[in-house]
C-alpha cells in the first residue's frame, strides 16, 4: 500500500533534503514550498502524514493546521522548525500536532516520527472504515429493528423488550435474529459494543 509523506517548507535546502531522505527510506513524497500550495492538493485515502514548517511567508504552519481542521481533514502532523519555543510547542500540541522537532533534526529521529505517524494514520483509516460500515449496517435496520437493537444493546431481556414495546416475545425474537444478522453480531454483547461505537445508546442514529 502506498504511504505518502507531504513536506511543506519554504527553505529549499531543508525541504529537498528531507524529501530525499524519505524517498531513500521507501516513502512516496510530495513537497511544497508554501502552505497555500499544499492546501490545494487533495489528501489521498491512504496512510499519510505531513512534515510542516512553522515559520513561512504568507501562511504559517498554524494557518495550515487550522485550514485542515476547518475542512474536516485529518492528517498526522510533524512540526519541523528552526524557531521552536515552549509556547509554540504547547500551542502545536493543543492543535493536535503529533510530534514537534527542531532543525537540524537527526535523520533517524525524523524517520522514526514519520513511521509512527503513518502507523497511526493507518489505524485511524481502518477505524473510520469500520465505523462507516457499522453505520451502514445500522441504517439498514427497519424502525422496529432499531427499537429492538437499542433495547437489546441496553441489556434488556426478550421479555422486558416485549413489555416495553407492547409486542409478543416471539415477535421480539424474530426481529432480534434479523438485527443480529444485519449487524453481523454474534451476541447481545456485540450489539452493545456496536451501540457504544456508534454513540447511539441513548439518542439513536438517524
- For helices 158-165 and 143-153, angle between their N-to-C axes, nearest 10 degrees: 130
Please name the CATH architecture into which domain 140-198 falls: Orthogonal Bundle (1.10)
- Hey, do 4-128 and 140-198 end up sharing a CATH topology, with the first three levels equal? no
How many other β-carbons are positioned within 10 Å of the β-carbon of residue 12?
Answer: 10
Domain boundaries in the chain? 4-128, 140-198
Measured CA to CA, the distance from residue 14 to residue 10 in angstroms comes to 8
Q: How far is CA 149 from the centre of its chain?
A: 27
- Summarised one tens digit per residue, pLDDT across range 174-205 is 999 999 999 999 999 999 999 998 888 544 44
pTM of the model: 0.68
Q: Which of 98-106's residues contact partners 24+ apart within 8 Å by CB, and which partners?
A: 98/49, 103/14, 105/80
Per-residue pLDDT of 58-95, as tens digits, reads 888 889 999 998 888 889 999 988 776 777 777 777 77
The CATH number of the structural domain formed by 4-128 is: 3.40.50.2300
Amino acid at each position: 500500500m502506498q504511504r505518502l509523506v507531504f513536506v511543506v517548507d519554504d527553505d529549499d535546502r531543508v525541504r529537498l533534503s528531507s524529501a530525499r531522505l524519505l524517498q531513500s527510506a521507501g516513502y512516496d513524497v510530495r513537497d511544497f514550498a508554501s502552505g497555500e500550495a499544499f492546501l490545494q492538493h487533495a489528501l489521498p485515502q491512504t496512510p499519510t502524514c505531513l512534515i510542516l514548517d512553522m515559520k513561512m511567508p504568507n501562511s504559517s504552519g498554524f494557518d495550515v493546521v487550522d485550514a485542515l481542521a476547518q475542512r474536516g481533514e485529518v492528517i498526522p502532523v510533524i512540526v519541523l522548525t528552526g524557531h521552536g519555543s515552549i509556547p509554540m510547542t504547547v500551542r502545536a500540541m493543543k492543535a493536535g500536532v503529533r510530534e514537534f522537532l527542531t532543525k537540524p533534526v537527526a535523520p533517524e529521529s525524523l524517520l522514526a516520527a514519520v513511521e509512527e505517524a503513518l502507523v497511526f494514520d493507518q489505524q485511524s483509516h481502518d477505524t473510520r472504515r469500520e465505523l462507516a460500515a457499522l453505520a451502514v449496517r445500522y441504517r439498514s435496520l427497519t424502525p422496529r429493528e432499531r427499537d429492538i437493537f437499542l433495547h437489546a444493546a441496553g441489556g434488556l431481556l426478550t421479555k422486558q423488550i416485549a413489555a416495553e414495546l407492547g409486542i409478543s416475545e416471539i415477535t421480539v425474537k424474530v426481529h432480534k435474529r434479523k438485527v443480529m444478522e444485519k449487524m453481523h453480531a454474534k451476541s447481545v454483547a456485540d450489539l452493545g459494543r456496536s451501540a457504544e461505537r456508534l454513540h447511539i445508546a441513548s439518542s439513536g442514529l438517524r
